[in-house]
Amino acid sequence: MVRAPILLAAFALAVTSRGDVVVLAVLLGFGAGVADSGVAVAFALSSALVRWGSSSLAAIAGAQAVLGPAGWTGSAPAVASAWFAAVALVLAAAPRSTPRRVVALAAVAPFGAAAADVTMGSSAGAGLWLRVLASVVATVVITLLPQWRTRSRIAVAAGLVALVCAGFAR
Amino acid sequence: MTSTSWAEVVLVVAVVAPLASVVVAIALAVPLDDERWAVAGTSVAGLGSFTLLVAGQHPRVGRFAPDDLALSAAAATALLTLGCRRTSPAAVRLTAVTVVLAGVMAGQPGRPSTVGPAVGLAVVAALVAVAREAPRAVVAGLGAASIAVAWGLHVGGHGGASAVVVGVAVLTVLSITVGGSTAAVVVPTALVLGLRVAPAVSGTSAARTLAVALAVLGAALAVAPMIGGRLRSIPPSAALAAWTLVAASGAVDGTVEAARALAAGTAFDLLLGGPLALVAAVPGAAVLAAALSDGHGWPRAALAPLAAITLIGVVNARPARSPAAARVRAVDGLALGFAVWLVVRPTSWTWLHAPGLRAYTDGLVLAMAAGFAGAVSLALLGGRVDLAPLGALLVPGERTATHRRVIDWPSVAAAALMGIVAVALVRSARL
């Protein structure tokens, strides 16, 4: 039950684009409750940090509002970095096995919101609606994905690729 | 620089109190294994240093002129000594505390001494050898590192500064692996020395090489527990200490600003000891990550993967001791309070000199509000927010004390060598 307030805190940061990516990574890492997922989240959010050169979620959202969503703006490595980071965040989420679908959705919503932040994280204008849509889609995808045993390991690999791509993009 | 009469009195009392408690105990014929005197002396030292730090006082008495960093290191030394679970005999421990406090507080106003902490570390290495608090190999390593520090201070320049930082890294890592009162007295003093000397190489090619070498050490220390066996007992604070020195060396612009926050995180992680205690390093990690992401040059490309390896290591580290044996003591509660203060409001710790944490503090306030609201809502809806496991994750179980009192001549010889180094340093004009 300790995970629930932590995930709620992470959701607040991801949705409002306030705070620091390191704090968001720590909250999502603890919220996931799996070491590999924590590493994957850290890599994925670090890739956004490296790409935009700022650890402020507001600055990352603001940059996307001006320059365009990270998912299709910039060089090929930059775009690839954004999508691999999103994949890492989606795979890092650990859905709860609960009969109540609302609870299951709420537990993975922070990861969906964070995935939207790194691909379509615009904080203003029409981009904001796109971001909301992306958050919902990512959250639903997380709940529909099967529970592979190697899921978190794949998430780590995707996060690492995102980080490397972000390094090349700079 | 503020200095008043009361602050000067507090400074002297803080430095002398640990050793004075031993003298008083001997004079009153109290058994030396009576820990109450040790606790009292160390508490006075810690409280005095903390009072001076919070009051913004920088008293000057003789060759003592502590800055904020020295006062915080003195408070950390006292807190670590009170909190260490495996201790040496009280007389040795309290003598070591007084020696390092005197060393770390030496200097002139605005020009803290680098030789003072080095003398303190050499004397402590000698005391560790005499008290047989560590295996011979570790004692030899501490001695060699102390000599490297002394040589580096004597030579000066970029090469000398690099030797000092490497010596400090070895001293810190070895003492952390030994644990107990050795780590309590060595780590804060060694890190202060590193933080004072490392900026001398900042921005040079020596800094870049030094930073990458220390980062390799930090990454290796972080993943070593994953190998298993005796390496499992290496705590994450060893890797954190190495990264503190990486940041202090200033190989990438802006990393120096993360050094003090990482040092504070290292001290709290060492004191609390549990896996969750690593959270104390988050403010420093945030500043370091921002600096690395915004930096330029090949060191950034070399440091980033090493940071990633370190992250994998510390996240996957399994505690060597069972969390079930945890018992949170008063000093753990005090340390926990300070650690929470550091994580929640790092900007109020002015001596950290860590700018660029505005997004961090803003976000943390929002996260705490959301988390608290979530916890209250859960409780109202009939859920149970069980915080008990957090205690075990913050503070691990205890280890019993083991003292061996047999004279070991190689250790005595090592102690004599350290004494010579200390005397040579005391005679140095840089004290």
Which residue type occupies B221? L
Whether the pLDDT of residue B327 is over 70: the answer is no
A12 close to B (CB below 8 A): yes
On chain A, the residues whose CB falls within 8 A of the CB of B366 are 9, 12-13, 16, 18-19
Q: Which run of H or of E encompasses B96?
A: helix B90-105
Smallest Cβ distance to A39: which of B311, B383, B390? B311
Q: Name the average pLDDT for chain B.
A: 84
DSSP 8-state symbol, A2: T
CA angle at residue B334 from B52 to B181, to 5 degrees? 85
How close does chain A come to B389, measured CA to CA in Å?
9
Contact list in A for residue B223 (CB cut-off 8 A) is: none
Q: Does A13 touch chain B (CB under 8 A)?
A: yes
pLDDT, one tens digit per residue, over B201-257 is 888 889 999 999 999 999 999 999 888 777 888 889 999 999 999 999 988 888 999
Contact criterion met (CB below 8 Å) for A6 and A25? no
The residue among B297 and B73 whose pLDDT is bigger is B73
First to last CA, chain A: 40
Place of tokens 């995930």: A7
pLDDT reading at B310 higher than 50 = yes
A118 at B interface, C-beta within 8 A: no
pLDDT tens per residue, range A125-148: 777 888 899 999 999 999 888 777
* Mean predicted lDDT score pLDDT of chain A: 88
Q: What is the pLDDT of residue B351?
A: 85
A157 touches chain B (CB under 8 A): no
Nearest to B294 among A11, A12, A53 (CB): A53
Report DSSP letters for B333-384, one per residue.
HHHHHHHHHHHH-GGG-GGG-----HHHHHHHHHHHHHHHHHHHHHHHTT--
**Which chain B positions have a beta carbon within 8 Å of A35's beta carbon?**
315-316
Say what the pLDDT of residue B259 is: 93
Confidence of residue A46 (pLDDT cuts 50, 70, 90): very high
- More confident call, B411 vs B136: B136
Q: Answer with the residue of higher pLDDT: A25 or B138.
A: A25
- Residues of B in Cβ contact (< 8 Å) with A15: none
Question: What is the predicted pLDDT for the residue at B2?
Answer: 67
pTM: 0.88
| Residues of A in Cβ contact (< 8 Å) with B316 | 35, 39
Percentage of chain A lying above the pLDDT 70 cut: 95
How does pLDDT run across B177-207, given as a tens digit for each residue?
988 888 999 999 999 999 999 988 888 889 9
**% of chain B surpassing 90 pLDDT:** 41
pLDDT band for position B402 (50/70/90)? Answer: very low
**B409 — pLDDT class (breaks 50, 70, 90):** low
Tokens linked to B353: 């000199």
- B289 and A46 within 8 Å at the Cβ level: the answer is yes
Chain A CB contacts of B383 below 8 Å: 1, 4
Tell me if B372 sits within 8 A of B58, measured CB to CB: no
The DSSP secondary-structure symbol of B233 reads G
pLDDT confidence band for A81 (50 / 70 / 90): very high
Is the per-residue pLDDT at B284 higher than 90? yes
Rounded distance between C-alpha atoms, residue B381 and residue B392, angstroms: 27
Does residue B324 surpass a pLDDT of 70? no
Best of A13, A28, A43, A55 to disrupt the B interface (most B CBs within 10 Å) is A55
Instruction: Retrieve residue A34's tokens.
Output: 């799996």
Cα R_g (chain B), whole angstroms: 21
Per-residue DSSP letter, B402: -
| Residue B295 structure tokens | 């930096």
Tell whether the model's pLDDT for residue A34 goes beyond 80.
Answer: yes
| A5, A24, A56: residue with CB nearest B375 | A5
- DSSP annotation of A99: S
Look up residue B188 and give its two tokens.
């804060």
Q: Work out whether the CA dihedral A23, A26, A27, A28 comes out positive or negative.
A: positive
Kindly determine whether residue A12 and residue B383, on different chains, have CB atoms separated by under 8 Å: no
Q: What is the pLDDT of residues A86-103, one digit of tens each?
A: 999 999 987 666 667 777
